[in-house]
Amino acid sequence: MDTNKSTGGMHIGLRRAISYIVLILLSFLCLFWFYVLFINATRSNGELGRGFTAIPSTHLMQNLHNVLHGTLPMMTGMRNSLVISALTAAFCTYFSVMTAYAIQAYNFTGKNAIFTFILMIMMIPTQVTALGFVQLMNKMGLNNSFIPLIVPAIASPVTFFYMKQYMESNLPMSLLEAARIDGAGEFYIFNGIVLPLMVPAIAVQAIFSFVSSWNNYFTPSLILHKDKLKTLPILIAQLRAADWLKFDMGQVYAAIAFSIFPVIIVYLILSKYIVGGVSAGAVKG
């Protein structure tokens, strides 16, 4: 009996050790590229041309100064990206929760057909509809405007599907019925009861929506043509596309590092919800 217990304990310890080794390896692989980025941001263009080194150099402040005080309006691009990404994340999550709540909580004709149609939209790539989208924005006079980058993002089938799955696991219908019996209106039930229960899922999807909008280059490059309205990904691409006399890889790395900080801050603020939100929303309990 004691032998079986000791053998079982050894197996558990071995599995735990393997798990820790795998987690350490994966963490290293994920963080190593950030380390490379920040190391390269401290080096000059000439030093980068001589190959990689793991030791930081002394050109970080110079690179940042060149980026922030160069010909491209990086601070304005940072502000534009923040406005677009924050509004996109807020509207996308709020209206996705509202849509998922309507599908989950109410029974009406065509409910399943609507749900299926929304899921079918997930299969359509953005690039397929880009030409028609740009032509529509031209006819509506919305070029060089943030509206085409914020309003269409409200309709996010992926976010809706995640919210729907989360509701199936964590939203008790009996609580909603009790609120209705007590005389609560539908808007109060949604904003006062449903939204607080959905905070973990909202936080997770807010991170994903924010990062997706922050890194989006394709759609803003089609809509925004004035430098004062461009987002950071467009400005960084312009920095990389400079001619060989003005090209400075140290500035490019510094600009990329500069653009990552807001994403890291948003992640740190909302990260405590990720594990609970993902695990609860992934599988119906």
Model confidence pLDDT, tens digit, residues 219-240: 899 999 888 999 999 998 888 7
Output the pLDDT for position 8: 58
Spatial CB neighbours of 88, under 8 Å, sequence gap ≥ 6: 149, 150, 153, 209, 210, 213
Model confidence pLDDT, tens digit, residues 169-193: 888 888 888 888 888 888 888 998 8
Q: Where are the domains of the chain?
A: 2-59, 62-282
Taking the C-alpha atoms of residue 195 and residue 214, their distance in angstroms, rounded to an integer, is: 25
Output the pLDDT for position 70: 79
Q: Hey, what amino acid is at 111?
A: K
More confident residue, 269 or 210: 210
Tokens read off for 86:
């924050």
Q: Indicate if the pLDDT at residue 1 is higher than 70.
A: no
Average pLDDT, the chain: 84
Output the pLDDT for position 281: 45
Model confidence pLDDT, tens digit, residues 273-282: 766 555 444 4
Output the pLDDT for position 87: 95
**Which residue, 127, 105, 123, 91, is CA-closest to 216?**
127
Model confidence pLDDT, tens digit, residues 200-219: 889 888 988 999 999 999 88
At the second CATH level, the architecture of 62-282 is Orthogonal Bundle (1.10)
Model confidence pLDDT, tens digit, residues 52-80: 888 888 888 888 888 888 788 889 999 99
Q: At what angle do helices 274-282 and 157-170 cross, to 10 degrees?
A: 80
Model confidence pLDDT, tens digit, residues 79-108: 999 999 999 999 999 999 999 999 988 888
